[in-house]
Amino acid sequence: MDGKIKVLFYNLDSAGVNYFRTLTPAMEIERNHSDEFYVEINPKIDFNDPSFVEYLKSFHIIHYHRQFLPDSKQMLMLANELKKSGTILIVDIDDYWQLHKKHPFYAMAIERKLHIPILENLKIADYVTTTTDLFADEIRKVTGKDNVGVFYNSVDPIWMKQFQNNWKPDPNGLVRITYMAGSSHMADVEQLEGVANWLDADPQTHGKFKIIIAGWDTEGNTTDITFNQNFGAELQKRGLWTNQMVKAINNTRGNVDALPNLPDDLKEKYRGKVFDQKQRDIKSIESVYLHYEKILTDNHRLITNQDYLQWLMNFERNVSYPDEGNFARRWTQKANIYAQVLDETDIEIAPLADNSFNRMKSNLKQVECWSRKLPIVCSDIPPYNVHGRHMENCVLIPNEKNAHKYWKKYLKKLILDADLRKRLGEQLYEDFKEEYNLANVTKKRVEFYKAAVAKTLAIV
């Protein structure tokens, strides 16, 4: 093979997915493998420019996340054209395509069949890369080929400053318990209902801990859905407003063609108009993070400073409060600095409900902790129990209906036992420092890339 292997890294996402699955792997290759690889990171390809295909053909490998072109037919045509020139398509995927029923986007995903283009892209690509062996096995069922590479989400504390250990103890001597997550984890956080107030009521742990919620945000939008009262009035006039009809309207989401005994004239008049949908920005009090907060503070009863509680309800993003006491918000930060909150963390918690979507996730929360030697309490399901060992390098909470009692038990142990926190954190460091180090993971990635290019050149 003459010259360097040219790799294009493309990812439209600007948040954590891009950071861990595209940007930092590309940067690591540039740092340590530039003698063999030429890397270009380009999230802004102009697909309307007629020359974009020739541009893509100039690369040996195109790495992209989830999908490249949204239209599957166009993607297949592009893939066939690129394959003629020997360009290899590698699609990376980090989340399962089947959302669980409590996921906030579940209904939309089912209605719009969002999983179909994802599955089609997995089949079109030459290779697939992902985060865990369990997820890789599921992907192979789709591709029907042994073309899947597993590269763990990982960090390199040498140059990724947010994962360097700058931990400092709490000035008030409190044990800080941090929950850091995105906005789709309501079903996971529910198992912590009642935990914080139980710990606060226990004389042994009262006044000794602080809850921190990181990733707090009020961004996003919601859809207001209202029923067309004119349609209801016409049904009543014709004697069609029955319990059966109301149930059918709700079950079909206003699909007039699926409503029993509905006259054709009403179908034509109200097709697509049974419900009115309007999108708007969410209000601060509607943020899912406020729901997280209420669960983790016993509906704010944990906060005894009424002035502080009133200040929290102002939702000030870039303003600090002088004495937070036993609760704090940490607002969303950019992907390259978000983990700095771990400098003020003594215990990280990572609850996950037991469902197929969560089982396909990566153990990123454990990865975030290893470089700081922080103890983590997490649910006893994949991904956390793959390399996590209960009471050795983490705490694994049984995923039972009454899981909250285990959260209470082990959080109390950790709050009261600084030596236990230290032992768990140090063992996590020892167990993860090689296998979840980005430099080592990238060595495996570049070997995967080299083998793919060598195989393609042999065929071409």
Question: What are residue 370's phi and psi, to 5 degrees?
Answer: -65, -40
Decide yes or no: CATH 3.40.50.2000 for domain 5-154+437-459.
yes
H/E element, 128: strand 127-130
Supply 402's token pair.
């009454």
Answer for the pair 302, 211: CB distance below 8 angstroms, yes or no: yes
23: pLDDT strictly greater than 50: yes
Tens digits of residue pLDDT in 196-230: 999 999 999 999 999 999 999 988 777 778 999 99
For all residues of the chain together, what is the average pLDDT? 94
Tens digits of residue pLDDT in 323-333: 999 999 999 99
Q: In terms of Cα–Cα distance, which of 189, 177, 153 is closest to 348?
A: 177
The predicted structure's pLDDT at residue 70: 83
Question: Do 5-154+437-459 and 161-220+284-432 fold alike per CATH?
Answer: yes
Angle at 401 between CA 395 and CA 404, to 5 degrees: 45
Architecture in CATH of 161-220+284-432: 3-Layer(aba) Sandwich (3.40)
348: pLDDT strictly greater than 70: yes
What is the residue extent of each domain of the chain?
A: 5-154+437-459, 161-220+284-432, 222-280
Q: For the chain, what percent of residues have pLDDT higher than 70? A: 98
458: pLDDT strictly greater than 80: no
Neighbour-count burial of 38, counting CB atoms closer than 10 A to its CB (0-12 exposed, 13-18 middle, 19+ buried):
middle
The predicted structure's pLDDT at residue 14: 67
pTM over 0.85: yes
312: pLDDT strictly greater than 70: yes
Neighbours of 455 (CB within 10 A): 13
Task: State the Cα–Cα distance between residues 382 and 355, nearest whole angstrom.
Answer: 10
1: pLDDT strictly greater than 60: no
Q: For the chain, what percent of residues have pLDDT higher than 90? A: 83
Q: Tell me the average pLDDT across 121-146.
A: 97
Tens digits of residue pLDDT in 97-120: 999 888 888 887 887 888 999 999
2: pLDDT strictly greater than 70: no
Tens digits of residue pLDDT in 385-416: 999 999 999 999 999 888 999 999 999 999 99
Tens digits of residue pLDDT in 155-211: 999 999 999 999 999 999 999 999 999 999 999 999 999 999 999 999 999 999 999
Tens digits of residue pLDDT in 40-75: 999 889 888 989 999 999 999 999 998 888 888 999
